[in-house]
Chain A
Amino acid sequence: MERKVVFRGKALPLALLAPQLLITIVFFFWPAGQAVWFSFLRQDAFGIRSTFVGLENFTDLFADPLYLETIRNTVVFSTGVTVIALATALLLAVLADRQIRGSGAYRTLLIWPYAIAPAVAAVLWIFLFHPQIGLVGRALNGAGIPWDYKLNGNQAMLMVILASAWKQVSYNFIFFLAGLQSIPKSVLEAAAIDGARPAYRFWTITFPLLSPTTFFLLVVNLVYAFFDTFGVIDALTKGGPAKATETLIYRAYVDGRVNLDIGLSSAQSVVLMLVVIALTAIQFRFIERRVHY
């Protein structure tokens, strides 16, 4: 049912919209516009002079083999984070959805990691996996498995993936649990009477009915892995060793903030912006089409 309110005059609707518009303009359109503008400029190191260089920042960017390597890192990283975070959360949610004693308590416990700041989370993982002082790190080395994420790029990547995924599991868990609880019990009972075993029931009934939730979380997790994992990476590896864990967002930070190449950094921000726009567009299109059961 659609309800429409018609205002007389324009002052009131404009006043009501103004705070939202103001915030969007000041904190989004303005900086975004600046980033787009800077991406066409080249500044000297002290920020005194800037020259218009057109698309040169972009052509430089995509000609740089290190940037292409960063894209590959980002793909590996975000895929890893998303798959691990979603699969773990789904498994935990399915287990927590059963009627067991004390389910309320451990549902709450599973939500806790979400409340931990990225830097604190990273420190936690350092205490676990540091090759010399970490519990797991020492155990691995002691067992004859050479473990040093400060030297081995693959191990570093594995660690930032695990740490980032771990942070996101709680969030996914909440949504999966809510999704599971909104599936009518009688539908699952009907499937049981139709002869479906629990595993078959899960893949033919539960999982398809959960797909709107899964798809929503897929996009949210990709965006998270792209943009919100800066803190974890910075605290754990600072993009190293040898740029093995440098993702797009981390590279933009390093070029802009450390190397003071504002133009190049802005060009990378614009690329990232396009990625978000694409992800959001895909999400809306699919949600429009697939969610209505």
Chain B
Amino acid sequence: MATLDLSGVQKAFGATRVLHGVDLAVADGEMIVIVGASGCGKSTLLRIVAGLETPTAGSVRIGGRDVTALEPADRDIAMVFQNYALYPHMSVAQNMGYGLKIRGLPRPEIDRRVRDAAALLGIEALLDRRPRQLSGGQRQRVAMGRAIVREPKLFLFDEPLSNLDAKLRVQMRAEIRRLQKRLGVTSLFVTHDQIEAMTLGDRLVVMHQGHAAQVATPMEIFERPADTYVAGFIGSPAMNFLEGVLAGGGRAVALRAGPTIPFADGPRPGPDGLPLTIGLRPEHLRLEAGGLPLAIDLAEPLGSETVLHGRLPDGEALVIRLAGPAPRDGTLPVTLPAEHLHVFVAEGGRRLDPAPA
């Protein structure tokens, strides 16, 4: 168990720059989820921590020790791969004991540790099997087991759940979280799935084009996204974005769609007429008499809720999530609640918070 510190980590493959300087401080026992769309550099970042890639610049410290120049073998980490990467010619027990054998642990000690880990994961019955005789979920557990027996300083997970079917994924997700809490091992978990990210992480790192767009707890990211990318990436259905300009001396936004909405949480700094992007989560919109007319073009009934897609009079798209059944077509009045506005500067998409009093 250890802390992990990344500072100014950069990576370029030839002329292509993949990571543009990532800083991250992970506390002992913390579970950090790195989330982002494919190609954002999240896997590269994980591989740099593992030592499978060398950073172009920056440093990696595990437990205070600079490991940037060390081989994976010398970093005392364990990694779970997306395709499990089990050794196909070894039994489950041999797979799990491989790392221990290399460290020269005595046979009985290896057996004991492998059995303990297998018991923890419920795979005692599989110890003599070969990987090809296992199902996807079982292979996943063996890969976990191989990481656990090593008792490493750091767990790295590279999209370990994406090859599982939906039901098993939810089950393994909960199991990984429970196990990580119980063992208290500092962990990095890479995923492209925002639900996995929200449910697993103590904190999230939202990656975007080689930058860490935001590092914060899941709820913080959900409630106060740092920019329009994070705002649109976290939350399902995605946040609505409407165009507008700063008005009333920074106290309100004049939406292109018509209404001017005063800010509920205080005036924003900046000149009137500053182009803004206003974010509104679908679940915060309400159907109320006197609202903006929304022409519905698609309704998705999901049982406990209904998702309505429509267009405002100025042509901007808007998605609403309503509890229970809802009308499926026609034009409905929709109100935009001032207390749930997310305000971003249109240029660059940074969040614009009220000026401190």
Q: How far is the CA of A193 from the CA of B150 in the complex (A)?
A: 10
Min CB distance B276 to A, Å, is 45
Query: Of B85-93, B172-180, B184-192, which binds chain A?
Result: B85-93
Number of interface residues of A (CB under 8 A): 20
Distance of A211 Cα from B132 Cα, bound (Å): 17
B99 partner residues in chain A, CB cutoff 8 A: 194-195
| Contact assessment for B78 and A205 in the assembled complex, using a CB-CB cutoff below 8 Å | no
Is B252 an interface residue, CB under 8 A from the partner? Answer: no
User: Are A193 and B72 interface neighbours, CB within 8 A?
Assistant: yes
Q: Which of A175-199 contact B (CB under 8 A)?
A: 184, 186-187, 189-197
Whether A292 lies near B87 (C-beta < 8 A) is: no
Partner of A192 from B72, B82, B89 at Cβ < 8 Å: B72
Bound-state CA distance A200–B89 (Å) is 15
B357 within 8 A of A: no
Contact between B87 and A186 (Cβ–Cβ < 8 Å)? no
Report Cα–Cα, A209/B85, bound state, in Å: 13
Known: A194-B98, A195-B73. A184 touches B146 (CB 8 A): no
Residues of B within 8 A of A189 (CB): 50, 52, 72, 79, 81, 85
| Shortest Cβ gap from A185 to chain B (Å) | 9
- Whether, in the assembled complex, A293 has its beta carbon less than 8 Å from a beta carbon of chain B, the answer is yes
The verdict on B71 contacting chain A, using a C-beta distance below 8 Å, is: yes
Interface: A208 (CB within 8 A): yes
B83 x A200 contact (CB < 8 A): no
CA distance A197 to B74 in the complex (A): 10
Please report the C-alpha to C-alpha distance between residue A205 and residue B79 in the assembled complex, in whole angstroms. Answer: 17
Question: Whole-angstrom distance from the CB of A191 to the nearest CB of chain B?
Answer: 7
Q: Contacting B87 at CB < 8 Å: which of A191, A193, A197, A200?
A: A191
Report B-chain residues with C-beta under 8 Å of the C-beta of A187. Answer: 85-88
Cβ contacts under 8 Å, B182 to chain A: none
* Shortest distance from the beta carbon of A193 to any chain B beta carbon, whole Å: 5
Is B18 at the interface (CB under 8 A from chain A)?
no
| Residues in B neighbouring A190, C-beta threshold 8 A | 79, 81, 85-87, 146
Shortest CB-to-CB span from B143 to chain A, Å, is 8
- Nearest-neighbor residue (CB-CB) of A190 within chain B: B85
Q: Is B87 a contact partner of A205 (Cβ separation < 8 A)?
A: yes
- Chain B interface size, as a band, is 20 to 34
By a CB distance below 8 angstroms, the chain B residues around A196 are: 73, 98, 102
* Interface of chain B: mostly helix, strand, loop or mixed: loop
* B residues in contact with A197, CB < 8 Å: 73
Q: Mark B97-112, 1 if CB is under 8 A from A, else 0.
A: 0110011000000000
Cα of A286 to Cα of B146 in the assembled complex, Å? 31
Taking CB atoms and an 8 Å cut-off, the chain A residues in 244-293 that contact chain B are 292-293
Please measure, in the bound complex, the distance between the C-alpha atom of A205 and the C-alpha atom of B86, giving whole angstroms. 11
Is B226 engaged at the interface, CB distance under 8 Å to the other chain?
Answer: no
Against B, the Cβ 8 Å flags (1 = close, 0 = not) of A204-239 are 110011010000000000000000000000000000
How far apart are B270's CB and chain A's nearest CB, in angstroms?
49
The answer to whether B79 touches A193 (Cβ under 8 A) is yes
Q: Whole-angstrom distance from the CB of B163 to the nearest CB of chain A?
A: 12
Of the candidates A192, A200, A208, A292, the one whose C-beta lies within 8 Å of that of B71 is: A192
Residues of chain A contacted by B88 (CB below 8 angstroms): 187, 209, 293
Question: How far does the alpha carbon of A184 sit from the alpha carbon of B77 in the complex, in Å?
Answer: 20
For window 153-194 of chain A, which residues contact chain B by CB distance below 8 Å? 184, 186-187, 189-194
Report the separation of the CA atoms of residues A209 and B132 in the bound assembly, to the nearest whole angstrom.
14
Assembly CA distance A192 to B75 (angstroms): 10
Distance of A214 from chain B, by nearest CB (Å): 13
**Docked complex Cα distance between A160 and B99 (Å):** 45
Judging by beta carbons under 8 Å apart, are B146 and A194 in contact? yes
When the two chains form their complex, are residues B73 and A186 in contact, meaning their CB atoms are under 8 A apart?
no
Q: Is B150 within 8 A of A184, CB to CB?
A: no
A-side contacts of B72, CB under 8 Å: 189, 192-193
Q: CA of A178 to CA of B341 in the docked complex: distance in angstroms?
A: 58
A204 to B130, CA, bound (A): 16
Q: Are A193 and B132 interface neighbours, CB within 8 A?
A: no
Write the chain A residue with the least CB distance to B132.
A293
Residues of A close to B71: CB separation below 8 A? 192
Whether the pair B89, A208 counts as a contact (CB closer than 8 A) is yes
Check if A186 sits within 8 Å of B102, measured CB to CB: no
The distance from the CB of A171 to the nearest CB of chain B, in whole angstroms, is 25
Q: Which residues of A contact B102 (CB under 8 A)?
A: 194-196, 200
Q: Could you list 19 A-B pairs, sorted by A, with CB under 8 Å?
A: A184-B85, A186-B82, A187-B85, A187-B86, A189-B52, A189-B72, A191-B87, A193-B73, A193-B75, A194-B73, A194-B98, A195-B99, A195-B102, A196-B73, A200-B102, A204-B98, A211-B89, A292-B132, A293-B89
Nearest first, the 5 closest Cβ-Cβ pairs linking A and B are: A194-B99, A186-B85, A190-B85, A293-B88, A195-B73
| A interface with B by C-beta (< 8 Å) | 184, 186-187, 189-197, 200, 204-205, 208-209, 211, 292-293
Sample of 6 more A-B contacts, CB < 8 Å, known A192-B71, A193-B51, A293-B132: A189-B52, A190-B79, A193-B50, A193-B73, A205-B87, A292-B132
